[in-house]
């Protein structure tokens, strides 16, 4: 009996232990199943990127390149030595004595690419340096499954070179505009989503993310103004650690709600003295700084040129008749400027067209133009060559008034033959010149 009793107790203990073991195993299985359930983590960027990515485009900058065609008179044409060239090209009452030299040929080539953001129907916001010196522009839109993007002719409507912003117009472009945010409400630590085309169109629509590292960074840069003269500007920018590379310029920096709050403009990649490599320091223009120019364009304060988009705007200006015989003129003699001279290369003077002489009886003289002036702009067209100026003038008739901007250095005409002379600072002067027939040619 005793043995049986002990066996019964042992059996009961074993049963209790087994029961406890079964219970533990069941609880452990439940815990394992709970921890292996699939958890879906939603990115805070996904929806914002989906909303705005299709509104970020590419911008192609085409420029005219001049090629030699075998002329043996390059010294006369370019004026090696002082920046004002050789025998020169007369315009107005004197066509000069340049002889029968051959003219160099020009060809339009793709000079660079950047990014832009659609801010209104047909309007794109980008950087000034993306469109700078362009003879024509094209907007590129990537298409899924196609190696080549869709192309849209475009032209510049308004720029602010100091802020490094530009608004361009593409009448055939039909993409959803983005919503402009409030960059003044940003805080350090906020998310930053940057979208653009780093390294060209092969990587179009690249998205990078980071945080806002700092606000109100005063960034000073020494650069050249739109006419080629050196100047120093300071802008207040947003610092981000999202990757920004060549080609991102003019794209968008967005908030997690998909609002455009900045324009990626530049990055720091290294130092010239130490050779140190720098990562994660990018700068964006606050969108609030760009809003005045945007509002001026969209409200009509700055008029959008009539442009169908069928013709390249750069070639449209060259379609006029350049034969000036008997046509109204400025009444000046002009020369090309040697763009490779030290005075131009170091920014002492702007590029443009040099006024060698002014007719005492001509409209330019009456408007205040002087020998030694450098014509840099006519009716908001940056002047870089004699042929361009002639083409613009040829499109106007007698009595038409032109807005002409010149750069004037007192006494510049007196030192024009001295290649070692130091050129003092000058100033830009705006003139209003009414065209007239200065010297009708007898038939």
Which pLDDT score, from 0 to 100, does residue 36 have?
Answer: 63
Pair 190, 253 in one domain = yes
Residue 237 has pLDDT above 70, yes or no: yes
The CATH code of the domain that includes 376 is: 2.30.42.10
Range of the domain at 332: 74-96+320-434
Between 114 and 69, the more confident residue is 114
Report residue 107 as tokens. 């060809």
Does 380 map to a domain? yes
Pair 424, 326 in one domain = yes
Pair 7, 90 in one domain = no
Residue-wise pLDDT tens digits, 411-425: 887 765 555 667 888
Pair 349, 404 in one domain = yes
Residue 376 has pLDDT above 60, yes or no: yes
Residue-wise pLDDT tens digits, 263-287: 998 877 665 555 666 677 888 999 9
pTM for the complete prediction? 0.58
Average pLDDT over residues 308-323: 43
How far apart (Å, rounded) are the C-alpha atoms in residues 109 and 60? 10
Pair 193, 274 in one domain = yes
Residue 258 has pLDDT above 90, yes or no: yes
Does 189 map to a domain? yes
% of the chain residues with pLDDT over 70: 69
How far apart (Å, rounded) are the C-alpha atoms in residues 163 and 290? 8
The whole-angstrom distance between residue 159's C-alpha and the CA centroid of its chain comes to 9
With a CB cutoff of 8 Å and minimum separation 6, the contacts of 424 are 409, 410, 411
Pair 185, 280 in one domain = yes
Between 105 and 150, the more confident residue is 150
Confidence of residue 333 (pLDDT cuts 50, 70, 90): confident
Cα–Cα–Cα angle for 84, 85, 88, nearest 5°? 110
Between 381 and 19, the more confident residue is 381
Does 79 map to a domain? yes
Pair 326, 421 in one domain = yes
* CA distances in angstroms from 61 to 110, 287, 306, listed in the order given: 6, 23, 20
Catalytic site includes residue 249: yes
Residue 94 has pLDDT above 60, yes or no: no
Residue 74 has pLDDT above 60, yes or no: no
Which pLDDT score, from 0 to 100, does residue 309 have?
Answer: 64
Reference 234, options 173, 285, 184; nearest CA is 285
Average pLDDT, the chain: 75
The single residue of 76, 164, 356, 359 carrying the catalytic annotation is: 164
Residue 167 has pLDDT above 90, yes or no: yes
Catalytic site includes residue 28: no
Q: Find out whether 372 and 413 touch, Cβ atoms under 8 Å.
A: yes
Residue-wise pLDDT tens digits, 37-47: 777 677 888 88
Which pLDDT score, from 0 to 100, does residue 437 have?
Answer: 79
Does 108 map to a domain? no
Residue 316 has pLDDT above 50, yes or no: no
How far apart (Å, rounded) are the C-alpha atoms in residues 85 and 79? 3
Does 336 map to a domain? yes
Between 178 and 21, the more confident residue is 178
How far apart (Å, rounded) are the C-alpha atoms in residues 47 and 371? 61
Pair 198, 275 in one domain = yes
Which pLDDT score, from 0 to 100, does residue 77 have?
Answer: 31
The single residue of 115, 249, 348, 385 carrying the catalytic annotation is: 249
Pair 336, 416 in one domain = yes
Pair 335, 407 in one domain = yes
Does 121 map to a domain? no
How far apart (Å, rounded) are the C-alpha atoms in residues 165 and 179? 18
Confidence of residue 182 (pLDDT cuts 50, 70, 90): very high
Which pLDDT score, from 0 to 100, does residue 127 have?
Answer: 92
Residue 8 has pLDDT above 70, yes or no: no
Between 199 and 143, the more confident residue is 143
In the chain, the number of structural domains is 3
The single residue of 76, 115, 129, 204 carrying the catalytic annotation is: 129
Catalytic site includes residue 43: no
How far apart (Å, rounded) are the C-alpha atoms in residues 388 and 133? 13
Which pLDDT score, from 0 to 100, does residue 57 have?
Answer: 93
Pair 10, 85 in one domain = no
Which pLDDT score, from 0 to 100, does residue 124 have?
Answer: 95
The CATH code of the domain that includes 256 is: 2.40.10.10
Average pLDDT over residues 224-252: 79
How far apart (Å, rounded) are the C-alpha atoms in residues 141 and 136? 17
Q: Which of 258, 284, 310 is the last residue of a domain?
A: 284
Reference 402, options 367, 372, 354, 357; nearest CA is 367
Residue 164 has pLDDT above 70, yes or no: yes
Does 217 map to a domain? yes
Confidence of residue 241 (pLDDT cuts 50, 70, 90): confident
Residue-wise pLDDT tens digits, 281-310: 888 999 998 999 899 889 888 878 776 665
């Amino acid at each position: 009996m005793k043995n049986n009793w002990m066996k019964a107790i042992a059996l009961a203990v074993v049963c209790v232990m087994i029961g406890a073991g079964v219970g533990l195993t069941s609880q452990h299985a439940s815990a394992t199943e709970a921890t292996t359930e699939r958890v879906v983590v939603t990115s805070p960027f996904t929806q914002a990127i989906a909303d705005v990515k299709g509104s970020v485009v590419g911008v192609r900058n085409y420029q005219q390149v001049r090629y030699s065609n075998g002329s043996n008179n390059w010294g006369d044409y370019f004026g090696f030595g002082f920046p004002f060239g050789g025998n020169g090209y007369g315009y107005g009452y004197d066509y000069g004595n340049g002889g029968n030299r051959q003219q160099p040929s020009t060809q339009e080539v793709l000079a660079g690419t950047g990014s832009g953001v659609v801010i209104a129907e047909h309007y794109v916001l980008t950087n000034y340096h993306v469109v700078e010196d362009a003879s024509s522009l094209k907007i590129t839109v990537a298409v899924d499954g196609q190696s080549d993007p869709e192309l849209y002719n475009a032209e510049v409507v308004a720029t602010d070179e100091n802020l490094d912003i530009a608004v361009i117009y593409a009448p055939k472009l039909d993409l959803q505009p983005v919503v402009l945010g409030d960059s003044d409400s940003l805080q350090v630590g906020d998310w930053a989503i940057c979208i653009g085309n780093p390294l060209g169109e092969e990587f179009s629509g690249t998205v990078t993310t980071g945080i806002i590292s700092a606000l109100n960074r005063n960034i000073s840069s020494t650069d050249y103004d739109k006419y080629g003269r050196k100047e120093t500007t300071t802008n207040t920018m947003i610092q981000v650690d999202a990757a920004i590379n060549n080609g991102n310029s003019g794209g968008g920096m967005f908030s997690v709600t998909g609002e455009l709050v900045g324009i990626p403009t530049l990055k720091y990649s290294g130092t010239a003295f130490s050779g140190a490599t720098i990562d994660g320091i990018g700068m964006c223009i606050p969108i609030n700084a760009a809003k005045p120019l945007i509002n001026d364009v969209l409200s009509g304060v700055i008029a959008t040129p009539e442009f169908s988009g069928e013709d390249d705007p750069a070639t449209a200006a060259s379609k006029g008749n350049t034969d000036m015989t008997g046509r109204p003129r400025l009444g000046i003699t002009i020369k090309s400027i040697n763009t490779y001279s030290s005075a131009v290369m170091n920014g002492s003077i702007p590029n443009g067209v040099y006024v060698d002489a002014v007719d005492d009886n001509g409209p330019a003289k009456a408007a205040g133009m002087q020998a030694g002036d450098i014509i840099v702009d006519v009716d908001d067209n940056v002047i870089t060559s004699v042929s361009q100026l002639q083409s613009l003038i040829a499109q106007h008739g007698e009595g038409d008034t032109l807005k002409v901007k010149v750069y004037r250095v007192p006494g510049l005409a007196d030192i024009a033959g001295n290649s070692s002379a130091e050129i003092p600072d000058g100033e830009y002067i705006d003139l209003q010149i009414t065209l007239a027939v200065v010297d009708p040619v007898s038939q």
